[in-house]
A = this chain, B = another copy of it.
């Protein structure tokens, strides 16, 4: 068994090769440029861990992990075009550096390349892996479209937001784990529980992400807090506050979002606190974390095999076990 830190390192080394032909360089260099930044590689490592939960890590799992990482990067390149984002992790985005048209094509060809890695999986597992991958890929597109839709919508209820965030981010985490499990020969029941573990963990992580952006310690969080508030981003916190705030406070919150005063962040945080948003968010995160753990417990393998996944989950959710 490997720890997740070990697998992050191993996957990083494995993935640090060219993934595209050399010509035409105008098409393929932008993709190589984007991939060269590195990254947390959480998703491919989840695939390897899902595989090792049931078996020794197979070459098929490495192909699947590579496909997942390429798919994730494809979504980032296209998302950056949609968001007109000039920077990602301090680097110029692909569309900013090479133009929108090339970025669009560089994304397309990265998705195709992901399928080419999946096609290295031989035997009768290819079809079920493709089926899971296709469903998930479609869901990720749905999540991104719902996110675009919500930006235009005044009222977004919390359930709709959870559904969007699940599609946009959690299903890929869940799919990564399940692809590893399928390739490790896991039963359908074990696959389902592992999928649900990943999905609920992803939702808990997203709640935490929204929480830290508002209430986090800037030193530990690694970036300035309040970014979401400044941008009027619909988050778990804002949507809940809009649902539970009494009419006067709700009006004040809406005015702050429209008027963008210089003390907006601190005043919105005050409203959040007076609506009990802080404890509510912690409870909601806890609920998804517990649900996640429940599914991990249900997986019928020796407890000791689950340790790396439990460590990773605790690390991601900044919890003591």
Contact = CB atoms under 8 A, between A and B. Distances in A.
Interface string A101-112: 110110111011
Interface string A98-130: 001110110111011101100100100011001
Contacts of A141: 27, 105, 108-109, 112
A262 interface: no
Interface in A141-170: 141-142, 144-146, 148-149
A137 interface: yes
B131 A104 contact: no
B130 A127 contact: no
A79 to B, nearest CB: 9
A248 interface: no
**Contact-residue size bin, chain A (C-beta under 8 Å from the other chain):** 35 or more
Contacts of A111: 108, 111-112
A135 to B, nearest CB: 8
Contact of A142 (B24, B142, B144): B24
Contacts of A18: none
A204 interface: no
A104 B108 CA distance: 10
Central interface residue in A82, A102, A104, by most chain B CB within 10 Å: A104
A97 to B, nearest CB: 15
Contacts of A21: 138
A53 interface: no
Nearest to A83: B101
A108 B78 contact: yes
Interface string A6-27: 0000000000000001001011
A134 interface: yes
B146 A134 contact: no
B134 A115 contact: yes
Central interface residue in A21, A81, A138, by most chain B CB within 10 Å: A138
A116 B108 CA distance: 16
Given A27-B145, A81-B104, A104-B81, A119 B138 contact: no
Interface in A14-47: 21, 24, 26-27
The 9 closest A-B pairs by CB, nearest first: A27-B145, A82-B101, A109-B141, A119-B130, A116-B134, A112-B137, A26-B149, A105-B141, A105-B145
Given A24-B145, A82-B101, 13 more contacts: A21-B138, A24-B146, A26-B146, A27-B145, A78-B108, A81-B101, A105-B141, A109-B138, A109-B141, A111-B112, A112-B141, A126-B126, A126-B127
Interface of A: 21, 24, 26-27, 78, 81-82, 100-102, 104-105, 107-109, 111-113, 115-116, 119, 122, 126-127, 130-131, 134, 137-138, 141-142, 144-146, 148-149
18 contacts: A24-B146, A26-B146, A26-B148, A81-B104, A82-B100, A82-B105, A101-B148, A107-B108, A108-B108, A108-B111, A108-B141, A109-B138, A109-B141, A111-B111, A112-B134, A113-B138, A115-B115, A116-B138
